[in-house]
Amino acid sequence: MVGGLTLQHVYRARERLGALVERTPLVESPELSKVAGGDVHLKLENQQLTGSFKVRGALNAVLALNDEERRRGVVTVSTGNHGRGVAFACRRAGVRVVVCMSRLVPANKLQAIEDLGAEVRIVGRGQDEAQLEAERLVAEEGLVLLPPFDHGEVIAGQGTIALEIVERLPPVAQVLVPLSGGGLVSGVALALKSINPAIRVVGVGMAEGCAMYRSLEAGKPVDVEEPESLADSLGGGIGLDNRYTFALVRELVDEVVLVEEEQVARAIVHAYRHERQIVEGAGAVGIAALLYQQEALSRRRDGPSVVLVSGANIDMELHRRLISDGEQGPTTGGGE
Ligand SMILES: *Cc1c(COP(=O)(O)O)cnc(C)c1O
């Protein structure tokens, strides 16, 4: 298997995680089923501890550290869901954690990470400077760097979502997965394709700034410019020295579909109105694909589709504005 990762890594991750994370609901969506003309279910990782699936990979990676690494402690660079997942994981495991971030990080995110007992280092005005600080801590203090997606145990942890899906819904035919660095879709595809290669795995990224999509086109990892987006958790590149996710996505993911900013806004509104779910932009891209990219998805109708809803951590004032803007105009696509 690609990068030496196998289904066994995913099963081992599930044993480690045990009852420390939520087995999130898989619910049918009558509204999306109508639009898609087939059975659609939602895997609700927006209801996961810390508000996103990232805690699965983070906790698996922290629990996989040996005693000596645990004593040294962990460092990570993240402004959002990964940082929160790692902070949560380290508190559970009793491991020191430093989260490096830039001055641009919003106060509420910083607070959520500090509340979990992490040390926070605020450095510079961008992710690059925070990355340099993390590398300094690795070199000078011996901390273990825990990257957000390009890491075997992180990928295996995210793959545990796929096990839950096939166990609850054995006939599943297609799974739509939000895509940025590709840790989530790599883990999910690794598990699904090992269990049943006929299950279609579709990555969903933003039309602008999807580094994985551009890298697949280029045949090697490339950097892209990213505009500001509602899907802020999909920000960032895949790393020019990518070790796992580029190869895994190229090998295992059937297709990458891109969605537009406006479609994500409407998908957030759809999730709230029709599914009663609070979903952040990155978490809503699969719903946006089902609502607005039917032609790209219509190839397989011989079984249920699952949309992975990856996170809930949206600024609630922004959410309120999107919902009230949504009242002014049509917000669902497809049949309306
Ligand atoms: C990180 C994240 C993603 C993307 O995951 P990758 O492993 O980087 O592809 C999607 N949704 C949410 C909510 C996230 O936090």
- Measure the CA–CA gap between 201 and 210, rounded to whole angstroms: 17
Residue 62, CB half-sphere, CA atoms under 13 Å: how many?
29
Biggest CA–CA distance in the chain, Å, is 59
* pLDDT of res. 301: 60
Indicate whether 331 pLDDT > 50. Answer: no
Indicate whether 300 pLDDT > 70. Answer: no
pTM for the predicted model, two decimal places:
0.95
Query: CA torsion sign, 17 to 18 to 20 to 26?
Result: positive
Least confident span in 106-110, 219-223, 315-319: 106-110
Residue 90 and residue 144 in contact, taking contact as beta carbons nearer than 8 Å: no
Other Cβ atoms closer than 10 A to 67 = 7
- DSSP strand pairing (26-28 vs 40-44): antiparallel
Token duo for residue 161: 């979502």
Average pLDDT over the chain, rounded to an integer: 93
- Measure the CA–CA gap between 145 and 168, rounded to whole angstroms: 35
Q: Is the CB of 183 under 6 A from ligand 1?
A: yes
Residue nearest (by alpha carbon) to ligand 1 atom 8? 181
Atom nearest to 149 CA in ligand 1: 7
Q: Is the CB of 81 under 6 A from ligand 1?
A: yes
Q: State the DSSP string of 217-272.
A: HHTS---------S-GGG-S---TT--SHHHHHHHH--EEEEE-HHHHHHHHHHHH
Query: Over the range 187-219, which residues count as b (16 or more CB within 10 Å of their CB) and which as e?
Result: bbbbbbbbbeeebbbbbbbbeebbbbbbbbeee
Q: Which of 45, 49, 54, 79 to mutate to test the pocket of ligand 1 (most atoms within 8 A of CB)?
A: 54
User: What number is the average pLDDT over the span 12-23?
Assistant: 98
330 burial class (0-12, 13-18, 19+ CB within 10 angstroms)?
exposed
